[in-house]
Structure 1
């Protein structure tokens, strides 16, 4: 791998990169577990909130693969069914040298398995923690990242969670983008031309997402690319704080300082990438024409690669034991994901909604209590700006948390569990939300 430099002393260099992600482990060792008679599973590479990633080997070809195992129970409890469906739908149609390739998806009664391209070099995050990159190496990875992001955007896919932990390296030390669990597609854009879901990793999130006024998927991805480029060159994050709301305020203001070793060309590009106004933030076309970016740039062509046919997964392994695999989802365009939804079971999950308001926390919680009282519900917990409401039949629970973003703006997070169908699933939509809508920004 090209040279990695140690960070020079700086007033900001002591800040650590604290975002959550999987950490690469050993990629060698015995392959002991046999999965579906197709793969030999080896050592654990990393784990997240509801998934684990293992190094594995294709029994027929002896090729290394990565297998991501997801707990169906945790998916259901966390309300991630749609995320899993969308991630598979997106990954099966992406074919680019700098995007991790999804080979197939299998499942049992309790687990879902993504069989993916194996990135031998591990996470880019791990490399940066050992020292900042040279400017040439930072440029190389940024060029590869922009190539992948441009490819996604041209196909109506917006990643929305670009960060160092989601950038892997292959055996040639080339970059591979992974983890499309929070991605959005063009179909999710509302009539106003914007996306509205508040998502992403805090240190990488764009300021317009915090405002909850609608945003461009392309523009928020480019903001995250700017954060990544800054970290590659500096060795630390441009916006960080142990207090989440304080960090959000720093992002909102967009005030950052480049380290002294940063060239003028890179400073100018970073300033345009980390522009808090999405309307004037640099576009991919403008990035391609930037003098700093263009140095040594080589166009990367995407490829379709080999297509797979839709197959039925075997219900028995070599020992004749029942596996109950629902099917293998191929990468051919004709595959639908209805089997996955059936495989994941019911829909009784915790829903989360966020909005930005200029009203005081006291006014918001007071209105929630008024609605609860009018509907015969009870407030079972109140702690400052946080409030919990329960329905009499136990089929409705609402919890709100309110945090101050700026002196005049708060973020309200509403978590609710509406069990069943019909009226039990309409309480938030028909009773609470209309009464709170006047507070929405």
Structure 2
């Protein structure tokens, strides 16, 4: 936050100190306690990787604990962002703490940030269970030789499950090294595992759920006459249209949204409303969404569980003019980045309709895309 003269940085108050201090004072941890911290670490690193962020300096000194013993990953000073990945799909900056760094990083020929982070997680798991490092030499070159060969010995108190998992993580061959998805399915890892939970976002659903939950069958109501509702879209007036157009939205005078992933997008079409709805249903079903329809409103819910539960998208067709319709898509539940990917990949939009004009949301510019049977 900032005023004209001051900048304020607000951070979470983490009172438990570094995980490193806990290991230093207690020595090695019991297997169940070590596994609990490792599970939280894998959840956190997996989440970072889903955003294209690679930490590149994972070690117990950079893992903090709150008052409840919940792990917090800190110190992203060496982390890499998606734009740092070169044309070959790899990172090329050699960085990290020598005892925790992956062999491919030292070779200086490019490396996969996710696989390098996972190696560091394997070293951390070893330290949690053993109380000392798997690779440790006073001479840096001797240390690197051991890392290149994955030359280490597990203490006799390691269980067979933890021993096998560590050996699969600390595999110098990146092609055969275990992945995070495989770790999560690992039998040793799964013991007492609790998948990550996320705070619910403060998002107004605008009675989306209420629209679909109306039964109309309450015994407390006396129905004199029931008429079928026509499936015609709501007509927008000029002021409503202007307020939804990003370029004319006055909120930009008071708020800045730099780098924020939008939770909604819109486009217009000259196709009839019923055709728009049917194309939506077809496209959504092909992308693995359950579809609920009522008049000119749709509620799409992903069948597959994402990072923050099932992705849910509310869609409404609005009439701007007698032959022009606006289609609005809003994320009502789930992960914003997953919603963003659905739109940016344009897999959903490419099913749709000639003459699409995007008027706001994720695209930030007004563009026109035309559909042609010839594929032009």
TM-score range, shorter chain: 0.5 to 0.7
Does the alignment pair 1:148 with 2:38?
A: no
Equivalent residues in 2 for 1:225-240 (5 A)? 225-240=121-136
1:123 aligns with 2:18: yes
Structure-to-structure mapping, 1:269-280, within 5 angstroms: 269-280=165-176
Q: CA deviation at 1:188?
A: 1.2
1:126–1:283 CA distance, 2 compared to 1 (3 A): same
Q: 1:225 to 1:306 in 2, by over 3 A?
A: farther
Query: What's the CA shift for 1:106?
Result: 8.8
Q: CA 1:212–1:264 in 2, change beyond 3 Å: closer, same or farther?
A: same
Report the structure, 1 or 2, having the larger strand content: 1
Structure 2 Cα separation of the partners of residues 157 and 105 of structure 1: 26
Query: Which residue in the other structure is 1:340 paired with?
Result: none
CA distance in structure 1 between the aligned counterparts of 2:107 and 2:256, rounded to whole angstroms: 37
> What secondary structure does 2:11 align onto?
strand
* Higher mean C-alpha displacement, 248-257 vs 259-268: 248-257
Assess, with a 3 A threshold, how the Cα gap between structure 1 residues 105 and 189 changes in structure 2: closer, same or farther. farther
**Cα offset, 1:170, TM superposition:** 0.3
Extract unaligned runs of 5+ from structure 2. Answer: 204-254, 260-376
Q: How many residues align?
A: 208
Counterparts of residues 169-188 of structure 1 (less than 5 Å): 169-188=65-84
Is the 8 Å Cα contact of residues 134 and 233 (structure 1) preserved in structure 2? yes
Alpha-carbon displacement from aligned partner over 1:271-317 (angstroms, at most 9, x marks no partner): 0110001111110110011000000101112346579xxxxxxxxxx
Q: 1:106–1:114: 8 Å Cα contact kept in structure 2?
A: no
Task: Return the alpha-carbon distance in structure 2 between the equivalents of residues 166 and 155 of structure 1.
Answer: 19
CA distance in 1, matches of 2:24, 2:104: 29
- Write the distance in 1 (CA, Å) between the matches of 2:188 and 2:41: 15
Residue 135 of structure 1 and its aligned partner are, at CA, apart by: 0.4
Which structure 1 residue ranges, 4+ long, deviate > 4 Å from structure 2? 104-109, 304-307
Residue number in structure 1 paired with 2:257: 334
Q: Say if 2:104 is the partner of 1:197.
A: no
Alignment partner, residue 214 of structure 2: none
TM-score computed with the length of structure 1 as normaliser: 0.45
- Indicate the SS of the match to 1:158: coil
Q: Secondary structure at the match of 2:10?
A: strand
- Which TM-score applies when normalising by structure 2? 0.52
Larger Rg: 2
User: What does residue 293 of structure 1 align with?
Assistant: 189
The question of 1:164 aligning with 2:60 is answered yes
Q: Is residue 2:163 matched to residue 1:267?
A: yes
Q: Which runs of 5+ in 1 are unaligned?
A: 1-103, 308-331, 337-441
C-alpha distance in structure 1 between counterparts of 2:65 and 2:166, whole Å: 23
With over 3 angstroms needed to count, the CA separation of the structure-2 counterparts of 1:260 and 1:250, relative to structure 1, is same
